[in-house]
Structure 1
Amino acid sequence: MYPEIKHFNSIKQEYDDKLAVLYKKREQIEQKIARVNIINNERSLTKKIKNINDEILDINKSKNQRLQKLVPYLLAGKQREVAAATKKFTQMSKDIIRFRAEYLLLIQQLYEVQQYAQDIETAFKDSLESIETDPQQIDINIDLLEINLHDPIHPNNPPLGILEKEVQQVYKTGKLPEWLHSYIANLHSNLNENFKPNRNKKNKRLK
Structure 2
Amino acid sequence: MYPELNHFKQMKKEYDDDLARVTERWTLLHKQKEWASNEYEELLNAYGVRNSRVTMENLTEVKNKYLKALEKEREAMEELDQLKESRDDRLSEYLKTVYKSRDRELDAAQKSMEKKIDQIERLKAEYLMMVQQIQEIHGYRLSVEKETSDLVNSYQPSYTPKEILPLYPELTRMEIPLNDIQYVFQKGELPDHLKKYVQFNDRSIMKIKKP
1:184 aligns with 2:185: no
Structure 1 SS opposite 2:165:
helix
1:133 aligns with 2:133: no
Given residue 135 of structure 1, which amino acid in structure 2 is its aligned partner?
T
Note the 1:102-141 alignment, pairs <5 A.
102-130=126-154, 131-136=156-161, 139=162, 141=163
Contact (CA 8 Å) 1:4, 1:73: kept in 2 or not?
Answer: yes
Tell me whether 116-125 or 74-83 shows the greater mean CA deviation: 74-83
1:74 aligns with 2:98: yes
* Alpha-carbon separation, structure 2, partners of 1:92 and 1:187: 17
Contact (CA 8 Å) 1:149, 1:161: kept in 2 or not?
Answer: yes
Rg larger in structure: 2
State the structure with bigger RCO (CA 8 A, min sep 6), 1 or 2: 2
Render the CA deviation track for 1:140-197: whole Å, top value 9, x for unaligned.
x3128554344xxxxxxxx2013344335545x364453xx34325755xxxxxxxxx
- Give the gaps of 5 or more residues in structure 2: 41-61, 200-211
* Alpha-carbon separation, structure 2, partners of 1:98 and 1:12: 46
Contact (CA 8 Å) 1:29, 1:45: kept in 2 or not?
Answer: yes
Contact (CA 8 Å) 1:8, 1:67: kept in 2 or not?
Answer: yes
Aligned to 2:181: 167
* Alpha-carbon separation, structure 1, partners of 2:30 and 2:128: 73
**Identity percentage of aligned residues:** 25
Cα distance, 1:87 vs structure 2: 1.8
* TM-aligned CA distance change 1:80 to 1:97, over 3 Å: same
Out of 149, 170, 174, the residue aligned to residue 148 of structure 1 is 170
* TM-aligned CA distance change 1:57 to 1:124, over 3 Å: same
Cα distance, 1:21 vs structure 2: 2.9
Given residue 195 of structure 2, which amino acid in structure 1 is its aligned partner?
I
* TM-aligned CA distance change 1:24 to 1:126, over 3 Å: farther
Using the size of structure 1 for normalisation, the TM-score is 0.65
Note the 1:38-57 alignment, pairs <5 A.
39=39, 51-57=75-81
Contact (CA 8 Å) 1:26, 1:52: kept in 2 or not?
Answer: yes
1:21 aligns with 2:43: no
Structure 2 SS opposite 1:76:
helix
Render the CA deviation track for 1:32-68: whole Å, top value 9, x for unaligned.
9999xx7369x68787666544433221111011112
* Alpha-carbon separation, structure 1, partners of 2:27 and 2:170: 69
- Report the RMSD for the aligned CA atoms in angstroms: 3.7
